[in-house]
Amino acid sequence: MLELLETWDGESVSIHRDRETGTWMFICVHSTALGSAAGGTRMKHYDRPADALADGMRLSEAMSLKLASVDFPHGGGKAVIALPSTEIPQGDARRRLLHEYGRFINSLGGLYSCAPDMNTSAADMDMIAEVTPYVFCKTEAAGGAGDTAPDTAVGVLHGIRASCRYAFGSDDLSQRSVLVQGAGGVGGRLIELLLEADTKVIATDIDPARLANMRDKGIVVVAPDRALTTPCDVLAPCATGGIINARTIPNLQCRVIAGGANNQLETPADADALRGRGIAYAPDFVINAGGVLHGGGLEEQHWTHEVLESKLAGIGDVIFEIFQRAEREGISTDAAARRIALARMGKATPVSTP
């Protein structure tokens, strides 16, 4: 872990260990250039605490870029609750652990505010809020904005339209085929929105029940291992990260990559490889920013739903601006998006660039 801390370009890492369960907790604050840090809380098992720390660092940098890209007044942070086993705690054990985590957040005095992420929910935010005020996206019953996934999907839809406008000269999705990889909260809602736009949808998921349900609805489905090699106009990754890499890029059969998953590229160099193949890539930390606009906009900025809708539509404008800048400067879209974000941060944080 020491080597990770020595080489990271973020601002701070706070570490706590729950003695009762042996759970490690990491809060990684990448930047406070635009305000106190905010970001999701990921709960999962890692083989080593160092792996959890590396995940938190990587994700917190993405949050800095995401928030700056959509000009939202917070810096980037991320928290990881690294469980000692693959078993996800439930009931009283979960409440106790989340209260422990909430007290950990409280000890930072507002440096970081949490929100849901992998294996945490709006209901979990309600429990955390019982011990700390530094929480976004509680349930609507508790006075929060509720589930961020639907508006994340709306932002992705606007990003797909902008990507198609750039790649095909039209944002009419009725002329396009879109393969959605992952039909969970974001991917499932994105599929619904695409069907409403009369898009030819192809879907996949690692959950056989989800696949069967989509097939029963008349949606074309493919096996998970064919997701990256099935011909389509747009590939929309909405599951795990790191799937776009040196091993998969040569076999891609799409013209556009635009989806809701975090950290879709395994390395920044993969964006250059996509550019070399003529595949238009919508940077994930921009296109999936609808969730932070939903939570922070409604709860902290007190936006009306009309204002929120306009902000979500603005994600498409930012994506198109990134494509134009990348073409104009002869760089990858990932590099262009990072430059735009850094400019908005006043270059106060040395985010790595390809």
Distance CA 337, CA 137 (A): 26
Coil, helix or strand for 69? helix
Enter the tokens of residue 32: 């406070």
| pLDDT 10s digits, 22-80 | 999 999 999 999 999 999 999 999 999 999 999 999 999 999 999 999 989 999 999 99
Given a cut of 80, whether residue 326 has pLDDT beyond it is yes
Given a cut of 50, whether residue 348 has pLDDT beyond it is no
Enter the tokens of residue 271: 């964006």
| pLDDT 10s digits, 185-235 | 999 999 999 999 999 999 999 999 999 999 999 999 999 999 999 999 999
Phi, psi torsion values for 122, nearest 5 degrees: -60, -35
pLDDT bracket for residue 241 (50, 70, 90): confident
**Exposed/middle/buried for residue 47 (C-beta within 10 Å: 0-12, 13-18, 19+):** exposed
Distance CA 171, CA 330 (A): 24
pLDDT bracket for residue 240 (50, 70, 90): confident
Enter the tokens of residue 169: 């000269």
**Exposed/middle/buried for residue 75 (C-beta within 10 Å: 0-12, 13-18, 19+):** buried
**Exposed/middle/buried for residue 278 (C-beta within 10 Å: 0-12, 13-18, 19+):** exposed
pTM recorded for the entire structure: 0.89
Q: For residue 282, give every residue at least 6 positions away whose Cβ sits within 8 Å of its Cβ, in sequence order, or none.
A: 159, 160, 162, 163, 256, 257, 258, 319, 322, 333
Distance CA 257, CA 164 (A): 10
pLDDT value of residue 347: 54
Active site residues: 78
- Using alpha carbons only, how large is the chain's radius of gyration in Å? 19
User: Which structural domains are found in the chain, ordered by start?
Assistant: 2-62+76-142 (3.40.50.10860), 149-291+300-307+314-344 (3.40.50.720)
